[in-house]
């Protein structure tokens, strides 16, 4: 039996069977179409004594795949819905943030290149002294000395 014959003889039945399972004719029509498309991908159509049983087996697999996709989509949408709304920043807060960023920029500009790099690795990247030392090939004592310089610069800027 070829695919055209199977489609002509069993498509309507399969669509009805699927409609009873999924609850709406649009999804049933899509799944029925996908079932026959799946059969078209076979290199050779097997000899089918019970074509409807074979069609149902493929359709059930497709229903399971669809249910998994829908579950994943719902979970993704729930995560998106649970994310906090972006904060609206008042003009005053915005101004304070800009001032703070300018102060940090001045601090970083006043540091030597190596001290600035170490400060950023520890403060922004969250690396430990040991990790920074390994990454830069420096001892922990050297890392501490550079961070001490950075902290002294912070104190000087705060006093100004």
* Domains of the chain (ranges, CATH numbers): 3-82 (no CATH), 102-159 (1.10.10.10)
Determine the length of the chain: 160
- Residue 56 predicted with pLDDT over 90: yes
Phi and psi at residue 84, in whole multiples of 5°?
A: -70, 150
How much is the CA Rg of the chain, to the nearest whole Å?
33
User: What per-residue confidence (pLDDT) applies to 103?
Assistant: 76
Q: Give burial (CB, 10 Å; 0-12/13-18/19+) of 138.
A: middle
SS3 content of the chain, % helix, strand, coil (to 5): 80, 0, 20
Segment 18-40 shows an average pLDDT of 93
pTM score, whole prediction: 0.51
- Residue 22 predicted with pLDDT over 80: yes
Distance between CA atoms of residues 24 and 20, nearest Å: 8
Looking at the chain, the whole-number percentage of residues with pLDDT higher than 70 is 97
- Residue 109 predicted with pLDDT over 70: yes
Of 16, 24, 59, 68, whose CA–CA distance to 39 is shortest?
A: 59
User: What per-residue confidence (pLDDT) applies to 12?
Assistant: 96
Q: Computed from CA positions of residues 39, 42, 45, 46, in that sequence, does the dihedral angle turn out positive or negative? A: negative
Q: Does residue 117 or residue 110 have the better pLDDT?
A: 117
Segment 14-37 shows an average pLDDT of 94
User: What per-residue confidence (pLDDT) applies to 90?
Assistant: 85
- For every residue of 14-50, DSSP letters joined together read HHHHHHHHHS-HHHHHHHHHHHHHHHHTSSSPPP-SS
Band the pLDDT of 111: cuts 50, 70, 90. Answer: confident
Q: Computed from CA positions of residues 96, 101, 104, 106, in that sequence, does the dihedral angle turn out positive or negative? A: negative
Residue 58, C-beta contacts closer than 8 angstroms, at least 6 positions apart: 35, 38, 39
């Amino acid at each position: 039996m070829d695919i055209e014959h199977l489609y002509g003889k069993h498509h309507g039945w399969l669509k009805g069977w699927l409609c009873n399972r999924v609850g709406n004719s649009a999804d049933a029509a899509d799944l029925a179409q996908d079932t026959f498309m799946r059969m078209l991908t076979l290199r050779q159509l097997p000899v089918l004594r019970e074509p409807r049983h074979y069609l149902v087996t493929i359709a059930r697999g497709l229903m399971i795949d669809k249910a998994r996709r829908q579950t994943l989509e719902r979970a993704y949408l729930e995560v998106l819905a649970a994310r906090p709304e972006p904060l609206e920043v008042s003009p005053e807060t915005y101004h304070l943030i800009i001032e703070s960023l300018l102060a940090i920029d001045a601090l970083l500009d006043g540091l030597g290149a190596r001290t600035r790099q170490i400060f950023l690795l520890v403060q922004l990247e969250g690396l430990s002294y040991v990790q920074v030392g390994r990454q830069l090939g420096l001892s922990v004592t050297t890392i501490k000395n550079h961070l001490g310089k950075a902290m002294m610069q912070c104190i000087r800027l705060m006093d100004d």
